[in-house]
A and B are shown apart, each in its own frame.
Chain A
Amino acid sequence: MKLLLAFIALFLASPVLGQEKTIAIGVVTQTRDPVQPVSPLDQEIRDEGLAGARLGIADNATTGRFTKQRFTLVEQTLAKDAKPADAIRDLAKEGIRFVVTDLDAPLLTAAASAPEAREMLFLNARAPDDALRNESCRANMLHTIPSRAMLADALAQYLMTKHWRRWFLVTGSAPGDKLQAQAFRRAAMRFGAEIVGEKEWTFKPGHARTDTGHVTLQSEIPALTQVTDHDVLVVADETNEFGDYLSYRTARPRPVAGTHGLVTTGWSEVSEQWGATQLQARFETLSGRKMTAVDYAAWAAIRAVGEAATRSRSNDPAAIMAYLRGSDFILSGFKGQGQSFRVWDGQMRQPILIAGPRLLVSVSPQAGYLHRGSELDTLGFDQGESRCRF
Chain B
Amino acid sequence: MPVLIAFFLLALTLQAASAETIYVSNEQDNTISVIDGQSLSLAATIPVGRRPRGIGLSADRQKLYVAAGDDNRIDVVDLKTQKVEGSLPSGEDPELFVLHPDGRRLFVANENDNLVSVLDIPEKRIVSEVEVGVEPEGMGASPDGRIVVNTSETTSMLHVIDAASLELIDNILVDTRPRVAQISADSRQIWVSSELRGTVEVFDADTRESLAKIVFEVPGVPRELVQAVGIQLTADGSRAYVALGPANRVAEIDAKSFKVLRTYLVGQRVWHIALSPDDKRLYTANGNSSDVSVIDLAGQEVAKTIGVGRSPWGIMVAP
Q: What residues of chain A have their CB less than 8 Å away from a CB belonging to chain B?
A: 59, 62-63, 66-67, 275, 278, 281-282, 307, 310-311, 330-332, 336-338, 374-376
One of B16-24, B154-162, B259-267 contacting the partner = B154-162
Whether A376 and B155, one on each chain, are in contact in the complex, defined by CB atoms closer than 8 angstroms, is: no
Residue of B nearest to A334 (CB): B154
Instruction: Given contact pairs A62-B134, A278-B111, A375-B222, enumerate 16 new A-B contacts (beta carbons under 8 Å).
Output: A59-B134, A59-B154, A62-B133, A63-B156, A66-B155, A67-B173, A278-B135, A281-B112, A307-B156, A330-B197, A332-B176, A336-B246, A337-B196, A374-B222, A374-B223, A375-B224
- 6 residue pairs of the A-B complex, CB under 8 angstroms, read A62-B114, A62-B154, A278-B135, A282-B112, A330-B196, A375-B224
* A326 and B135 alpha carbons, distance in the complex (Å): 26
Whether B112 and A330, one on each chain, are in contact in the complex, defined by CB atoms closer than 8 angstroms, is: no
A310 contact set on B, CB distance < 8 A: 156, 173
Whether A275 and B153, one on each chain, are in contact in the complex, defined by CB atoms closer than 8 angstroms, is: yes
State the main secondary structure of chain B at its contact with A.
loop
Q: Give the distance to chain A from B163, nearest Cβ to Cβ, in Å.
A: 20
* A18 and B143 alpha carbons, distance in the complex (Å): 39
Whether B111 and A62, one on each chain, are in contact in the complex, defined by CB atoms closer than 8 angstroms, is: no
Residue of A nearest to B222 (CB): A375
B133 contact set on A, CB distance < 8 A: 62-63, 66
* A217 and B100 alpha carbons, distance in the complex (Å): 65
* A34 and B99 alpha carbons, distance in the complex (Å): 54
Residue of B nearest to A336 (CB): B246
* A90 and B220 alpha carbons, distance in the complex (Å): 51
B187 at the interface (CB under 8 A from A): no
Whether A63 and B224, one on each chain, are in contact in the complex, defined by CB atoms closer than 8 angstroms, is: no
Whether A337 and B225, one on each chain, are in contact in the complex, defined by CB atoms closer than 8 angstroms, is: yes
Residue of A nearest to B135 (CB): A278
Q: What residues of chain B have their CB less than 8 Å away from a CB belonging to chain A?
A: 111-112, 114, 133-135, 153-157, 171, 173, 176-177, 195-197, 222-225, 246
* A209 and B114 alpha carbons, distance in the complex (Å): 45
A311 contact set on B, CB distance < 8 A: 173
A332 contact set on B, CB distance < 8 A: 153-154, 156, 176-177, 195-196
A331 contact set on B, CB distance < 8 A: 176
B196 contact set on A, CB distance < 8 A: 330, 332, 337-338
The 7 closest A-B pairs by CB, nearest first: A66-B171, A338-B196, A337-B224, A63-B155, A332-B177, A62-B134, A332-B176
* A310 and B222 alpha carbons, distance in the complex (Å): 27
A62 contact set on B, CB distance < 8 A: 114, 133-134, 154-155
* A268 and B288 alpha carbons, distance in the complex (Å): 22
Whether A338 and B176, one on each chain, are in contact in the complex, defined by CB atoms closer than 8 angstroms, is: yes
B223 contact set on A, CB distance < 8 A: 374
Interface-centre pick from B154, B171, B222 (highest chain A CB count, 10 A): B154
Residue of B nearest to A371 (CB): B222
B156 contact set on A, CB distance < 8 A: 63, 307, 310, 332
Residue of A nearest to B178 (CB): A332
Residue of A nearest to B154 (CB): A59
* A63 and B135 alpha carbons, distance in the complex (Å): 11
Q: Give the distance to chain A from B33, nearest Cβ to Cβ, in Å.
A: 22
B176 contact set on A, CB distance < 8 A: 330-332, 338
Q: Give the distance to chain A from B190, nearest Cβ to Cβ, in Å.
A: 17
* A310 and B156 alpha carbons, distance in the complex (Å): 10
* A375 and B156 alpha carbons, distance in the complex (Å): 25
Taking a contact as CB atoms closer than 8 A, the residue among B112, B222, B246 that contacts A278 in the complex is B112
Interface-centre pick from A331, A332, A375 (highest chain B CB count, 10 A): A332
Taking a contact as CB atoms closer than 8 A, the residue among A59, A66, A307, A375 that contacts B157 in the complex is A66
Q: Give the distance to chain B from A8, nearest Cβ to Cβ, in Å.
A: 33
A281 contact set on B, CB distance < 8 A: 112
Whether A63 and B134, one on each chain, are in contact in the complex, defined by CB atoms closer than 8 angstroms, is: yes
Residue of A nearest to B131 (CB): A65
Q: Give the distance to chain B from A182, nearest Cβ to Cβ, in Å.
A: 29
Whether A374 and B224, one on each chain, are in contact in the complex, defined by CB atoms closer than 8 angstroms, is: yes
* A66 and B131 alpha carbons, distance in the complex (Å): 11
* A62 and B115 alpha carbons, distance in the complex (Å): 12
Interface-centre pick from A62, A275, A374, A375 (highest chain B CB count, 10 A): A62
Interface-centre pick from A63, A307, A310, A311 (highest chain B CB count, 10 A): A63
* A374 and B176 alpha carbons, distance in the complex (Å): 18
* A67 and B173 alpha carbons, distance in the complex (Å): 9
* A331 and B153 alpha carbons, distance in the complex (Å): 11
* A338 and B195 alpha carbons, distance in the complex (Å): 9
Q: Give the distance to chain B from A20, nearest Cβ to Cβ, in Å.
A: 15
Whether A376 and B157, one on each chain, are in contact in the complex, defined by CB atoms closer than 8 angstroms, is: no
Q: Give the distance to chain B from A317, nearest Cβ to Cβ, in Å.
A: 20
A282 contact set on B, CB distance < 8 A: 112
Residue of A nearest to B70 (CB): A277
Residue of A nearest to B173 (CB): A310
Q: Give the distance to chain B from A209, nearest Cβ to Cβ, in Å.
A: 36
B157 contact set on A, CB distance < 8 A: 63, 66
* A338 and B225 alpha carbons, distance in the complex (Å): 9
* A282 and B196 alpha carbons, distance in the complex (Å): 21
A67 contact set on B, CB distance < 8 A: 173
Residue of A nearest to B111 (CB): A278
Interface-centre pick from A59, A278, A307, A311 (highest chain B CB count, 10 A): A278
* A47 and B286 alpha carbons, distance in the complex (Å): 40
Residue of A nearest to B134 (CB): A62
* A332 and B157 alpha carbons, distance in the complex (Å): 13
Taking a contact as CB atoms closer than 8 A, the residue among A338, A374, A376 that contacts B197 in the complex is A338
Whether B224 and A338, one on each chain, are in contact in the complex, defined by CB atoms closer than 8 angstroms, is: yes
Residue of A nearest to B168 (CB): A66
Q: Give the distance to chain B from A173, nearest Cβ to Cβ, in Å.
A: 39
B134 contact set on A, CB distance < 8 A: 59, 62-63
B225 contact set on A, CB distance < 8 A: 337
Q: Give the distance to chain B from A211, nearest Cβ to Cβ, in Å.
A: 42
B173 contact set on A, CB distance < 8 A: 67, 310-311
* A59 and B224 alpha carbons, distance in the complex (Å): 24
* A337 and B197 alpha carbons, distance in the complex (Å): 9
Q: Give the distance to chain A from B223, nearest Cβ to Cβ, in Å.
A: 8
Residue of A nearest to B198 (CB): A338
* A186 and B195 alpha carbons, distance in the complex (Å): 34
A376 contact set on B, CB distance < 8 A: 224
* A7 and B269 alpha carbons, distance in the complex (Å): 59
